[in-house]
Chains A and B, each alone.
Chain A
Amino acid sequence: MFHQVKQAFRSPKFLVGFIIFTSLLAAAIIYPALSMWHPLQIITRPGFAPPGRYVNIQDVIQVRPLDRRMILVDVDANRLGNVVADEDVYNMIYFLETFLGVPVGHLSVDDQATVIYYWNNYYDPTYRHAGMIMAEHLAWTRFHAQLQVALDGTIIIAYRDEEGYLQEGAGFDTQDFVHIRDIVNVYHFPLGTDNFGRDMLTQMLSAMLVSLRMGLIAGLVATSIGLTLGLVSGYLGGFVDDAILFITNIFTVIPGFILLILITYSLGPAGRGVTVVSAVIGLTAWPWTCRAVRSQVLSLRNRDHVNLSKLSGHSMPRIIVKDILPYVASYVVMALILQISTAILAEAQLSMLGLGPNTAEVATLGLMMQWATMFSAWQVGAWWAFVPVILAIALMAFSLNLMNTGLDQVFNPQLRDS
């Protein structure tokens, strides 16, 4: 066995496939683990964001020394007219007339400039007028600060809390600069974000691992069923062989993918967990492994070493395990590799049809393709939402198939030089 493994690594094709595959696997394991985000964490606003380096606006403002003067309004309210509503002007006139001794009728709502002139000259935010409760006093102080900022022509960013009050924020104007070094969080989205605002790279790499796991489960299911039935059918022959061959033929005649669609559809959304879908893919893929193993066993069981083993008094299960299985093992490994690669593709196809695994916890490559389609990534030109995924699927299938071809050349010497 060890000898065969060593032999496999001498095949350049196998080696290249193996290197690509292990690199993909390593990336899929390491990157999501080191990534600052959970694969399905929503980071940006909805909408496809192209690949690149991103800075959160909040972070930019937070690095600026906080400006104490201000606090205000809606983000786009940078004009006086927008900042100071008519209602505010009435209130200002009332305040000036009541507390600051401005003659009644002297000020008018239409003449905002005069109102503001008086306000700026007479209002003292530090003085609390008699008869005014603290809350009122503070509200006026805040309003004053807002007004000052608004008058500066400064752009304000502020937040409303739950009660609708404006909370701390920061103001900045066109001459405000921040050194890039001082921006604490520079986010890198090497592959942009998807429509939900999730980092594509983290998501894709973790999806690769999930798809691979699904492929492995499906491959193992298909291979173990195919291997067992193939061994039994080929070795026993007779009625058992006929029965197994009959079932295999039925499965071969009905296209596997149709069967897969029917089964997954009948499972319903609730039944389509990741493992279940993988198992179903495996359940529809075993027949050709079975056929191939059977035909190998048919020729092996007439070999003299099997006869010799019988003559040594070995039981049938032992002969199957010790004298037949090792001879088909390399073949079965090859079949397993192919099964994994077809299962990954099958998952992608199923998911594109909306019959893939129904899960909110993990992404699979197929689901990512489905999301890209659902949110018209193709139409809006958000290539980063599907091209890398297609490449990942292709690369994975390619590396697996390359390994398979390499093994084929090692174990079927007549192919070696072609």
Chain B
Amino acid sequence: MGDIIKSDKIAVDRAELEKRPSVLRGDKVTKVFGYGNSKTVAVNAVNFNFREREVISIVGESGSGKTTLAKMLLGLIGVTEGDVYFKDAKRDISSHRKKKEYWRGIQAVFQDPFSAFNIFSKIDSLLLDCINLMGGKKFSPEKKYEMMSEACSFVNLKYDELTNKYPFELSGGQMQRLMIARIFLLKPKILIADEPTSMVDACSRATILDMLMKLRDEVGMTIIFITHDIGLAYYVSDTVYIMEQGKFVEVGSAEDVIISPQAEYTRRLISDVPKIHEEWDLSTV
């Protein structure tokens, strides 16, 4: 299959990657919804170790538990069993203050920009919230304005055109970029992007991925992509986790997993994606 995939992707030096400090590690992380007959094991004892500046993709079919895992990692839902380690220390998010502290280090970009914004509050408040979270509550209005403008221009938006607008007055692409502007302000250690490109066209998709990668280089953050799209996973990531029914069935470098898949499930995923056989190029991704 190696000759099918042509790209200018520079494979990461695995040995160097393994030496980087761990930012997020999971030990038999499990999530069970409901009880009795309606019990669903959404995530089933998964182990993982995400390192600094690593780009990870978690790939799996719909319902395989990707979003559930992401929410657990974000601390939005509880972990039924297992432990999560943040920067090699056991994660403690037992109080709101500790959670707030944790969220300074881990943030997310959501799949559907239309449902990710509160349509009743202005865009300004979204960006201001980020500044406040990062301890900038007491900054002067000029400083805040400057920060927000900078964040907007990073994602090719003009703050002056957005100020005092409501999210529903923006296009889907603009919303998605605004979401990234948020990340720009927060500069978290880890970013979880749950299908950040599934709702936008190919062109905006490339732009968004480009922005995220640029942000990673600037901030040095770890990005965890969650996606159906194994082609995308191959293109952007250092490491790929293949998830099936709540379990990781295959883990490895993008090249290893996609060029020589071990699991049956991975092979099926690859064959299901027609694009994987075509030429991958940033301009069309």
Contact = CB atoms under 8 A, between A and B. Distances in A.
A76 interface: no
Contacts of B121: 322
A140 B100 CA distance: 107
Given A1-B120, A315-B96, A326-B120, A307 B74 contact: yes
A313 B107 CA distance: 11
B145 interface: no
A322 B118 contact: yes
A309 interface: yes
Nearest to A1: B120
Contact of B117 (A305, A310, A315, A316): A305
B129 A307 contact: no
A376 to B, nearest CB: 56
Contacts of A304: 110-112, 115-116
Nearest to A306: B118
Interface in A284-323: 303-305, 307-316, 322-323
Interface in A319-340: 322-323, 326-327
A311 B108 contact: yes
A77 B17 CA distance: 124
Contacts of A309: 118
Contacts of B96: 315-316
A312 B133 contact: yes
A310 B116 CA distance: 12
A308 B110 contact: yes
Contacts of B108: 307-308, 311
Given A304-B110, A304-B111, A313 B118 contact: no
Contact of B74 (A305, A311, A327): A311
Interface string B81-124: 00000000000000010011001000110111001111111000
Interface in B55-95: 71, 74, 76
Contacts of A1: 120
Contacts of A316: 96
Nearest to B76: A307
Interface in B119-138: 119-121, 126, 129-130, 132-133
A308 B74 contact: no
Interface in B211-260: none
B129 A305 contact: no
A305 B118 contact: yes
- Which label, helix, strand, loop or mixed, suits the secondary structure of the B interface? helix
A327 B71 CA distance: 23
Nearest to B111: A304
Contacts of A323: 118
Interface in B122-179: 126, 129-130, 132-133
A312 B130 contact: yes
From B71, B107, B120, residue with most partner A Cβ within 10 Å: B120
A323 B118 CA distance: 6
A322 B125 CA distance: 12
A204 B177 CA distance: 61
B115 A311 contact: no
B133 A313 contact: yes
A1 B119 CA distance: 10
Nearest to B130: A312
A259 B123 CA distance: 48
A313 B100 contact: yes
A358 B120 CA distance: 45
Nearest to A310: B76
B118 A314 contact: no
A276 B111 CA distance: 51
A313 B134 CA distance: 10
Interface in A147-189: none
Contact of A313 (B111, B112, B132): B132
B103 A311 contact: yes
Contacts of A307: 71, 74, 76, 108, 110, 116
From A308, A311, A314, residue with most partner B Cβ within 10 Å: A311
From B107, B116, B117, B132, residue with most partner A Cβ within 10 Å: B116
Contact of A303 (B71, B107, B115): B115
A173 B133 CA distance: 96
Contacts of A308: 108, 110, 116-118
B13 to A, nearest CB: 32
B117 to A, nearest CB: 6
Contacts of A313: 99-100, 103, 129, 132-133
A328 to B, nearest CB: 11
A278 B132 CA distance: 45
Contacts of B100: 313
A261 to B, nearest CB: 40
Contacts of A311: 74, 76, 103, 107-108
B255 to A, nearest CB: 33
A308 B107 CA distance: 9
Nearest to B188: A311
Nearest to A316: B96
Contact of B129 (A303, A314, A315): A314
A303 B126 CA distance: 16
5 closest A-B pairs (Cβ-Cβ)? Answer: A326-B120, A304-B116, A312-B129, A304-B110, A313-B100
Interface of A: 1, 303-305, 307-316, 322-323, 326-327
Given A304-B111, A313-B100, A322-B118, 17 more contacts: A304-B115, A305-B115, A305-B116, A305-B117, A305-B118, A307-B74, A307-B110, A308-B118, A310-B103, A311-B103, A312-B130, A312-B133, A313-B129, A313-B133, A315-B96, A326-B118, A326-B120
5 contacts: A304-B112, A305-B116, A305-B118, A316-B96, A326-B120
